Structure 1
Amino acid sequence: MTNAAAPILSLRNIRKSYGPIEVLHGIDLDVRPGEVVALLGENGAGKSTISKIISGTTPQSSGEMTWQGKPYAPSSPREAIDAGVGMIHQELMLLPHLTIAENVFVGRYPRRAGLVDRQAMNDQARSGLERLGLNISPARRVDGLSTANQQLVEIAKALTLNARLLILDEPTAALGGEETQKLFEQIARLKADGVGIIYISHRLEEIRKVADRIVVMRDGSKVEEFDSADIPVRQIVEAMVGRQLERMFPALPTPSDEPVLEVRNLTSARGDFEDINFTVRRGEILGIAGLVGAGRTELVRAIAGADPIASGTVLLKGRDITPKSPRDAIRNGIVLVPEDRKLQGLVLDHTIAENIGYANLTKVSTGGIVTTGKVNAFADNNIHRFGVKGRGPQKANELSGGNQQKVVIAKWLAREPSVVVLDEPTRGIDVGARSSIYDIIVGLAQEGVAVIVVSSDLEEVLGVSNRIMVMAAGRQSGILDHADANDVSVMELATA
């Protein structure tokens, strides 16, 4: 592939309006065969809208597209797929009651003598999974798979399309380093086969590894285009946010010596982790790192009472409060901001005010009766406190990912807990919203709260943690002080 190659896809003056509001303002974009174009921007910049137009989910209001030199205007995702355009969505689109293989081939099952050829379907799905390093039966139902494994299934689904253009929307958001590397290997093979790729990600460091060109969007417009991905991250970020960026991570506070949360010999009833020991002090941020499958999410869910514990104890300020349910943990002052905010953190078709109120019923009721006035007033206070860009009566599904995450954080922090656990707090969130969430995390520690942050983003866990506990294959492989922690030292423990 050279820059002189004819584009496989061209967009010219693409505009999109919803009623009187124009959200895309004359976008021009070319993608050539065998190249990766990184499409970057904050939440709301227009990246997803462009992707939906190209993949046939929504039509443009005006402008033209050409695909392999011919006019292109898909009226449905099926039409786009048939033309050779596939998309991996940021939000998982799997059907939990179907098997992995059925999800991979849904709508296009291989047939033999008029019947679904399950053997061929399973074999082809297994091949796609193995290419990504996922050793799991394609006959297993999707229900119960971890978020990371569901993401790998979505990617395997796209790999089986034999598409000539792939749109990857946050494909590594739920993946660790090893899984991300395997995806990059597949991208390199696709490039060699002449497949064009549009790559959307908030993980800017990985852009340098995978992209050939960078297109930056802001507020529905294309504002910058770089002919190389070898661009300083700060320069990319400043193009995204439209201003100079002073810092990404705030200064960390110094914790006290007072232990708040103590975990002793904790072992999962499901075999996800074993013999975990650590302490989180007042005003301390403990990061938990490790590869996908290391048991990080399962550990914090157990501490929060959501997953069963086989043995061991959880102590809060010296008192055994080992939770048997989320209600136990919440009542004792331990709250969890889960990794999947849409499925586990919010009631999406309810309002911001209602979502905040659900976790704080005693504060929005009088004599056991919840009043709309109290809910709205309580929510407004916390919307302002945590910088949510939205109004109480607005539905949660109308918010950007960053603001949805702030609502989840707000509803739990309004309870004034002693321990806050955040699992993948900035997954799929743009750089501007990330910075404000980091400020919230550090602000909690400054107020004396004990904070635990689980993250697959190594830069993130290094940037916000006083100490980092590293897990590998369900075991605790070490705890590093902030001064001793770096990419190499964490990964050495993660692969031990």
Structure 2
Amino acid sequence: MDVGRESLVREAPLLEMHGIVKTFPGVRALGGVDLDVRAGEVHCLLGQNGAGKSTLIKVLAGAHQPDEGVIFWRGEQVRLSTPQAALGLGIATIYQELDLVAGLTVADNVFLGREQAQLGFVRPRELNRRAGELLTRLGHPEIRPGAEVGSLPAASQQMVSIARALSQDARLIIMDEPSAVLDNEEVERLFTVIRDLTAHDVAVVYISHRLEEIREIGDRITVLKDGRTVATGLPARETPTREVITLMTGRDIEYVFPERHHRPPATAEPVLEVDDLGLRGAFSDVSFTVRPGEIVGLAGLVGSGRSEILETVYGARRATSGTVRVGGRRLRPGDVGVAVAAGVGLAPEERKSQALLLGESVARNISISSLTRFARGGFLSGAAERDAAREQVSALEVRPADVTREVRTLSGGNQQKVVLARWLLRECRVLLLDEPTRGVDVGARSEIYALVRDLADRGVAVVVVSSEIPEVLGLADRVLVVAEGRVVAEEPAAALDEHRVLDLVMEGTSTHGVPVHEGDVA
């Protein structure tokens, strides 16, 4: 930190929260949280899923009212009674689950509720101009202000949400997992924006499970555990990773990948065969095989076509060319039911919107793909369904272990375990994992790594996609590097490192030039 920056963060806090308590029916989400944030700093808020981070930022955003505790803003005690009250003070929040209106334009979303009007009419040209300026400042001038925001990829939608916060002239911006859908280059652009903000005395509360990001962008750290502050004011760059993890979890955790106990023989027949698969406008000529017990990773940048490949193999998208075979049997394109019956399971990137029935119980979310096995004389046996779910909850250590609880109340890591439990119950032969640890804390992440390895050891063929290249290399036996919708390299994971993967991505991008367009696939 330079001298000017250091003097800024030594000043009196911009925000102070003391003894914040928040209780919901049957749950004490916050049991006494203290936090202070200074102008011009990046203050990183860390903790496992369920530690209270989300509840705390909703209190700060005016969405929840604390039962106890006081909040000071610029030295004066305040009551953040509504989100509008928080915005009025200069506190803006960018949630992990983006709250954009899909049917409106980018500019409309940036200035939603604050449109410029003259004689009662909204001035779209002015809105577009100002939105364009904000997006250019964010390093994304290619995002058109007039585009419908629902048509944009997730990374671009994230930038629109950040532009909205900038448009509100905020003095404190809360960023909840802002890098979860960004590739490495976009994360660096985001960090450039954050540094520009803090240079102008704007404070940032930054929440991330990626500890390497905390070291790069953070100034100080506050750690929550079980709804309480267990450490605050720690220097982000100097505090050892092991100390941070111990504070978050209450125990020592090796932040490494578990060892493989069994590796598939090279002579084993593949259980999954993908041959010249293509999806018009997304990818083409993708071929690979996966043997029982093998983990194959797909590495590449956001937008390279990795997720679309998994979804097409699963049948959620209808292939425009090529074939998928499981156990030698060709699957009908675009038919999820056929894929599931053949033993294919998918844990998608957006588990809340694509995998989970949030208002249903843990038991129903686990059993949903296996309901026929619980039918008794034409009726569903709820007792048998719950008993089977309890076995999976126990095996995967889902917490809390109540299978009647609504799945929406679980932390991100435990929700991901529920998705995996569904396919364990189904006894799938092929498991497709898209960003399996996105939004998952370090403790649950280690558990999911061990679970994936255990599944492979049992003979399940696993395909994993992750934006974190070290995660792909650490989990996989073999890696396919994907660039611009094509597989540009295939190597044993042990022969690669992060720099080599990025080199291959860049070589593939320059070779193919532009993404696959509608006429590129037969």
Q: Deviation per CA, 1:74-100, whole angstroms, max 9, x where unpaired?
A: 111111112110011112212222222
- Structure 2 partner of 1:192: 199
Q: Tell whether 2:222 aligns with 1:215.
A: yes
Q: Tell whether 2:193 aligns with 1:183.
A: no
Give the secondary-structure state (helix, strand or coil) at the position aligned to 2:57: helix
1:122-133 → structure 2 map (5 Å cutoff): 122-130=128-136, 131-133=138-140
- Structure 1 partner of 2:364: 354
Deviation at 1:134, TM superposition (A): 6.4
Between the aligned partners of 2:353 and 2:141, the Cα distance in structure 1 is 24
Q: Tell whether 2:409 aligns with 1:402.
A: no
Q: Tell whether 2:333 aligns with 1:323.
A: yes
Deviation at 1:28, TM superposition (A): 2.2
Deviation at 1:437, TM superposition (A): 1.0
Deviation at 1:138, TM superposition (A): 2.7
With over 3 angstroms needed to count, the CA separation of the structure-2 counterparts of 1:17 and 1:32, relative to structure 1, is same
- Structure 2 partner of 1:231: 239
Q: Which amino acid aligns with 2:222?
A: V
Contact 1:132–1:152 (8 Å) recurs in 2: no
2:385 to 375, 378, 397: 375
Contact 2:255–2:442 (8 Å) recurs in 1: no
Deviation at 1:218, TM superposition (A): 0.8
5+ long unaligned stretches in structure 1: none
The alignment covers a number of residue pairs equal to 495
1:30-41 → structure 2 map (5 Å cutoff): 30-41=36-47
- Structure 2 partner of 1:81: 87
- Structure 2 partner of 1:435: 446
Contact 1:213–1:227 (8 Å) recurs in 2: yes
TM-score w.r.t. length of structure 1:
0.95
Contact 1:303–1:322 (8 Å) recurs in 2: no
Between the aligned partners of 1:74 and 1:159, the Cα distance in structure 2 is 20
With over 3 angstroms needed to count, the CA separation of the structure-2 counterparts of 1:274 and 1:129, relative to structure 1, is farther
Contact 1:356–1:411 (8 Å) recurs in 2: yes
With over 3 angstroms needed to count, the CA separation of the structure-2 counterparts of 1:368 and 1:105, relative to structure 1, is farther
With over 3 angstroms needed to count, the CA separation of the structure-2 counterparts of 1:74 and 1:289, relative to structure 1, is same
Deviation at 1:141, TM superposition (A): 2.4
1:165-176 → structure 2 map (5 Å cutoff): 165-176=172-183
Deviation at 1:317, TM superposition (A): 2.9
2:114 to 101, 108, 111: 108
Q: Which amino acid aligns with 1:171?
A: P
Contact 2:253–2:443 (8 Å) recurs in 1: no
Give the secondary-structure state (helix, strand or coil) at the position aligned to 2:324: strand
- Structure 1 partner of 2:398: 388
Contact 2:398–2:417 (8 Å) recurs in 1: yes
1:206 to 200, 208, 213: 213
What do you get for the CA RMSD once the two structures are aligned? 1.8
- Taking every aligned residue pair, what percent have the same amino acid on both sides? 43
Between the aligned partners of 1:22 and 1:451, the Cα distance in structure 2 is 38
Contact 1:133–1:179 (8 Å) recurs in 2: no
Q: Tell whether 2:56 aligns with 1:50.
A: yes
Contact 1:250–1:439 (8 Å) recurs in 2: yes
- Structure 2 partner of 1:474: 485
Between the aligned partners of 2:132 and 2:487, the Cα distance in structure 1 is 31
Q: Tell whether 2:15 aligns with 1:6.
A: no
Between the aligned partners of 1:21 and 1:274, the Cα distance in structure 2 is 49
Q: Tell whether 2:459 aligns with 1:453.
A: no
Give the secondary-structure state (helix, strand or coil) at the position aligned to 1:78: helix
Contact 1:214–1:229 (8 Å) recurs in 2: no
Q: Which amino acid aligns with 1:264?
A: D
- Structure 2 partner of 1:282: 292
301-310 vs 67-76, greater mean Cα deviation: 67-76
217-226 vs 313-322, greater mean Cα deviation: 313-322
Contact 2:488–2:505 (8 Å) recurs in 1: yes
- Structure 1 partner of 2:455: 444
Between the aligned partners of 1:487 and 1:341, the Cα distance in structure 2 is 27
Deviation at 1:170, TM superposition (A): 0.6
Between the aligned partners of 1:429 and 1:345, the Cα distance in structure 2 is 16
Contact 1:54–1:74 (8 Å) recurs in 2: yes
Q: Which amino acid aligns with 2:61?
A: S
Between the aligned partners of 1:195 and 1:380, the Cα distance in structure 2 is 48
Q: Tell whether 2:270 aligns with 1:249.
A: no
Between the aligned partners of 1:375 and 1:347, the Cα distance in structure 2 is 16
Q: Deviation per CA, 1:291-348, whole angstroms, max 9, x where unpaired?
A: 1111111111111111121111112233322532211211221111111111111110
Contact 2:214–2:236 (8 Å) recurs in 1: no
2:272 to 256, 261, 276: 261
Q: Deviation per CA, 1:440-496, whole angstroms, max 9, x where unpaired?
A: 111110011110111112222122111221111212121231212211011112222
5+ long unaligned stretches in structure 2: 508-522
1:284-303 → structure 2 map (5 Å cutoff): 284-303=294-313
Q: Which amino acid aligns with 1:300?
A: L
Between the aligned partners of 1:203 and 1:340, the Cα distance in structure 2 is 18
Q: Which amino acid aligns with 1:215?
A: T
Contact 1:134–1:152 (8 Å) recurs in 2: no
Contact 2:473–2:494 (8 Å) recurs in 1: no
TM-score w.r.t. length of structure 2:
0.91
2:426 to 404, 415, 421: 415
Between the aligned partners of 1:149 and 1:446, the Cα distance in structure 2 is 38
With over 3 angstroms needed to count, the CA separation of the structure-2 counterparts of 1:353 and 1:178, relative to structure 1, is same
Contact 1:323–1:329 (8 Å) recurs in 2: no
